[in-house]
Amino acid sequence: MLHTPSGGARAGTAAGQKSGPMSIGAVLEALRAEFPEITVSKIRFLEAEGLVEPARSPSGYRKFRAEDVERLSYVLRMQRDHYLPLKVIREHLEAFGEGAPYPALPMVPPRDPEEPNVAASVPAVRTGRKELLGLVGAQEQELAEWEEYGLLGPAEDGTYRLTDVTVAQLVAELGRYGVAARHLRAVKAAADRQLDLVEQLVAPLRHHPDQRTRTHAETTADELTNLSVRLYGAFVESAVRAARTRGD
């Protein structure tokens, strides 16, 4: 069972103010009270990433429901307060199913806008070692080997993030095809190097004197990370197609 600390899950949302279908402009207005840096581009980006799926009018205009605004508010809080990647947020929401109440988030004290933007100290989702093994269907010695090769690892309190669960599941699946943990060290190293590159690109934004620019740094980091993941997938697909062409 995944652990989600209790706390304010939906504080501050303006979704309840609108009962009928809402345009993207109305959604922007509703969200700005809590998320002043939100933009139309950000909402469209979250839609493209599958975090929200508004209905469409016959002419193609987006029609958001109050539930869509509530979902967007939750996603934005997960990003702002807990610095979770969009992929993890999406998997977290999918795990609870359509229409289920959103899992509560831990309360995070207000941050001085002049202070450096640092990650929250309380994680949004954690799972224990035995739970991780159960979710993945792996043995203790397998997990120990994955950790030995640096593919994943627990926090100081011995718990694992939801991203670690995803990594473990993928490593276990690859293992069933004969891919050993040692074979994946290069993949992990490449991912770490790409993250370093993203951080280098975003670092000037994080330290910018303008608060709006500093806030935008997290969105930029998410978009760069997403593009990196897509590029890696495109590289693999291109290589596979090239290999099959040579074999024909």
pLDDT of res. 31:
93
Residues 6+ apart with CB under 8 A from 171: 146, 151, 152, 181, 184
Nearest to residue 173, comparing CAs of 162, 185, 181, 161?
Answer: 181
Please list the residues that pair with 63 across neighbouring strands: 55
Domain final residue, candidates 157, 179, 201 = 179
Per the structure, the count of domains in the chain is 3
Are 60 and 170 in the same domain?
no
Amino acid at 223: E
User: Mean pLDDT, consecutive 10-residue segments, the chain of 248 residues?
Assistant: 41 51 90 87 86 87 91 87 74 67 49 44 64 88 94 90 86 92 93 90 86 78 84 87 76
Closest by alpha carbon to 49, among 23, 78, 21? 78
- pTM value > 0.85: no
Shared domain check, 44 and 137: no
Closest CA to 192 of 155, 151, 154: 151
Let me know whether 11 and 97 are in one domain.
yes
Same domain, 2 and 90: yes
Residue 17: predicted pLDDT:
47
Which pLDDT value is given to residue 103? Answer: 56
Domain encompassing residue 148: 125-179
Q: Which amino acid is at 238?
A: S
Exposure string of 221-237, with b = 16+ CB inside 10 Å and e = fewer, is bbbbbbebeeeeeeeee
Q: Are residues 12 and 43 in the same domain?
A: yes
- Verify that 12 and 95 share a domain, yes or no: yes
Residue 66 · residue 18 · CB < 8 Å: yes
Q: Note the pLDDT of residue 150.
A: 94
